[in-house]
Amino acid sequence: MAAQRDQGHNGDQPPAAVTDVSARDVPAARERARAIPEAAVARLAVYLRVLSGMAEEGVSTISSEELAAAAGVNSAKLRKDLSYVGSYGTRGVGYDVDVLISEIERILGLTRKHSVAVVGIGNLGHALANYGGFPSRGFPVAALFDVDSDLMGVPVGGIPVEHIDDIEAICREREVNIGVIATPPSVAQDVCDRLVSGGVQCILNFAPVVLGVPDHVEVRKVDLAVEMQILSFHVARRADEALAEVTVDGTRPGVGEAVVGR
Amino acid sequence: MAAQRDQGHNGDQPPAAVTDVSARDVPAARERARAIPEAAVARLAVYLRVLSGMAEEGVSTISSEELAAAAGVNSAKLRKDLSYVGSYGTRGVGYDVDVLISEIERILGLTRKHSVAVVGIGNLGHALANYGGFPSRGFPVAALFDVDSDLMGVPVGGIPVEHIDDIEAICREREVNIGVIATPPSVAQDVCDRLVSGGVQCILNFAPVVLGVPDHVEVRKVDLAVEMQILSFHVARRADEALAEVTVDGTRPGVGEAVVGR
DNA sequence: AGCCGCTTGTGAACGCAGGCACAAAGTCGT
DNA sequence: ACGACTTTGTGCCTGCGTTCACAAGCGGCT
Ligand SMILES: NC(=O)c1ccc[n+]([C@@H]2O[C@H](COP(=O)([O-])OP(=O)(O)OC[C@H]3O[C@@H](n4cnc5c(N)ncnc54)[C@H](O)[C@@H]3O)[C@@H](O)[C@H]2O)c1
Ligand SMILES: NC(=O)c1ccc[n+]([C@@H]2O[C@H](COP(=O)([O-])OP(=O)(O)OC[C@H]3O[C@@H](n4cnc5c(N)ncnc54)[C@H](O)[C@@H]3O)[C@@H](O)[C@H]2O)c1
pLDDT of residue A25 exceeding 70: no
Residue of A4, A133, A221 with shortest CB distance to B225: A133
Residues A98 and A26 in one domain: yes
Cβ of residue B129 lying under 6 Å from some atom of ligand 2: no
Tell me which residues from 75 to 104 on chain A have a beta carbon below 7 angstroms from nucleic acid strand D.
Answer: 76-77, 79-80, 90-93
Cβ-contact B84, B40 below 8 angstroms: yes
A with B: how many residue pairs have Cβ under 8 Å apart?
435
Indicate the length of chain A as a whole number: 262
CA A110, CA B258: separation in Å to the nearest integer?
28
Domain CATH number, residue B45: 1.10.10.10
Q: Does a structural domain hold residue B8?
A: no
Strand, coil or helix: what is B22?
Answer: coil
Residues B120 and B141 in one domain: yes
- Rounded to whole angstroms, what are the CA distances from A224 to A138, A208, B5, B6, B229? 25, 8, 18, 14, 19
Cβ-contact A211, A194 below 8 angstroms: no
Angle in degrees, CA A253, A258, A262, rounded to 5: 145
Minimal Cα–Cα distance from B127 to chain A, Å?
A: 5
**Structural domain ending residue among the three candidates A85, A107, A129:** A107
Q: Which pTM value belongs to this model?
A: 0.88
Residues B128 and B214 in one domain: yes
Torsion sign, CA atoms B90, B93, B96, B97: positive
Angle in degrees, CA A256, A69, A12, rounded to 5: 90
Q: Does a structural domain hold residue A135?
A: yes
pLDDT of residue B262 exceeding 50: no
Q: Does a structural domain hold residue B254?
A: no
pLDDT of residue A1 exceeding 90: no
Q: Is residue B55 classed exposed, middle or buried when 0-12, 13-18 and 19+ CB atoms within 10 A define those classes?
A: middle
pLDDT of residue B121 exceeding 50: yes
Cβ-contact B21, B215 below 8 angstroms: yes
Angle in degrees, CA B66, B69, B74, rounded to 5: 110
- Ligand at shortest distance from the CA of A128: 2
Cβ-contact A100, B194 below 8 angstroms: no
Chain B residues lying within 8 Å of A205, measured CB to CB: 4
Confidence class of residue A73 from pLDDT cuts 50, 70 and 90? very high
d(CA A88, C1' D28) / Å: 20
Whole-number pLDDT of residue A7: 58
Chain A residues lying within 8 Å of B214, measured CB to CB: 2, 254-258
Inter-chain CB proximity A74 and B12 less than 8 Å: yes
Q: In this structure, how many other beta carbons lie within 10 angstroms of the beta carbon of residue A95?
A: 24
DSSP structure class, residue A152: B
Q: Does a structural domain hold residue A261?
A: no
CA A183, CA A151: separation in Å to the nearest integer?
14
Cβ-contact A171, A199 below 8 angstroms: yes
Residue A134: give the domain boundaries.
Answer: 116-222
Is the pLDDT higher at B17 or at A121? A121
**Structural domain ending residue among the three candidates A74, A107, A140:** A107
For A86-166, where are the alpha helices, taking DSSP H only?
97-107, 123-130
Q: In chain A, pLDDT over 70 holds for what percent of residues?
A: 79
Residues B194 and B155 in one domain: yes
**Structural domain ending residue among the three candidates B71, B88, B107:** B107
How remote is the CA of residue B214 from the centroid of ligand 1, in Å? 35
Over residues A170-192, the pLDDT tens digits come to 999 999 999 999 999 999 999 99
Name every residue whose Cβ is closer than 8 Å to that of residue B239 and which is 6 or more positions away in sequence: A109
Torsion sign, CA atoms A131, A133, A136, A140: negative
Residues A99 and A185 in one domain: no
CA A253, CA A244: separation in Å to the nearest integer?
11
Inter-chain CB proximity B133 and A234 less than 8 Å: no
Q: Does a structural domain hold residue A256?
A: no
Q: Does a structural domain hold residue B173?
A: yes
| Nearest of B228, B220, B210 to residue A226 by alpha carbon | B220
CA A128, CA B158: separation in Å to the nearest integer?
22
CB under 7 Å from strand C: A 10-15, 17, 63-65, 75-76, 79-80, 82-83, 87-95; B 15-16, 37-40, 73-74, 76-77, 79-80, 90-93
Residues A162 and A136 in one domain: yes
Residues A140 and A87 in one domain: no
Helix (H) or strand (E) holding A185: helix A185-197
Residue A14 phi/psi, 5-degree rounding, is: -50, 105
Q: Does a structural domain hold residue A243?
A: no
Number of domains in chain B: 2
Over residues A95-148, the pLDDT tens digits come to 999 999 999 999 999 999 899 999 999 999 999 999 999 998 999 999 999 999
Q: Does a structural domain hold residue B37?
A: yes
Residue of A3, A26, A209 with shortest CB distance to B210: A3
Inter-chain CB proximity A241 and B23 less than 8 Å: yes
Inter-chain CB proximity B189 and A261 less than 8 Å: yes
Angle in degrees, CA B37, B40, B42, rounded to 5: 115
Is the pLDDT higher at B16 or at B128? B128
pLDDT of residue B10 exceeding 90: no
Look over chain B and give the mean of its residue pLDDT values, rounded to a whole number: 84
DSSP structure class, residue B171: H
The DSSP bridge pattern shows strands B94-96 and B61-62 to be: antiparallel
Bridge partners of B204? Answer: B180, B220
The reply to whether B79 Cβ lies less than 7 angstroms from strand D is: yes
Residues A43 and A120 in one domain: no
Cβ-contact A217, A196 below 8 angstroms: yes
Residues B122 and B215 in one domain: yes
Residue of A42, A237, A256 with shortest CB distance to B230: A42
Whole-number pLDDT of residue B247: 59
Q: In chain B, pLDDT over 70 holds for what percent of residues?
A: 79
Residues B80 and B144 in one domain: no
Nearest ligand 1 atom, CA A145: 33
Nucleotides of C strand lying within 7 Å of any protein CB atom: 5-11, 16-21, 24-28
Domain CATH number, residue B126: 3.40.50.720
Report the Cα B86 to chain-centroid distance in Å. Answer: 22
Buried/exposed B70-93: b ≥16 CB within 10 Å, e otherwise: bbbbbeebbeebbeebeeebeeee
Residues A30 and A63 in one domain: yes
**Taking each helix axis from N to C terminus, what angle separates B75-85 and B97-107, rounded to the nearest 10 degrees?**
60
Minimal Cα–Cα distance from A93 to chain B, Å?
A: 25
CA A214, CA A119: separation in Å to the nearest integer?
19
- Rounded to whole angstroms, what are the CA distances from A123 to B132, B154, B203? 11, 17, 22
DSSP structure class, residue A3: B
pLDDT of residue A249 exceeding 80: no
For chain B, where are the alpha helices, taking DSSP H only?
31-34, 38-56, 64-71, 75-85, 97-107, 123-130, 167-173, 185-197, 224-249
For the sheet with A159-163, list strands across it.
Answer: A155-156, A159-163, A141-146, A115-119, A176-181, A202-205, A218-221
Mean pLDDT of B6-21: 38
Residues B136 and B210 in one domain: yes
Minimal Cα–Cα distance from A253 to chain B, Å?
A: 7
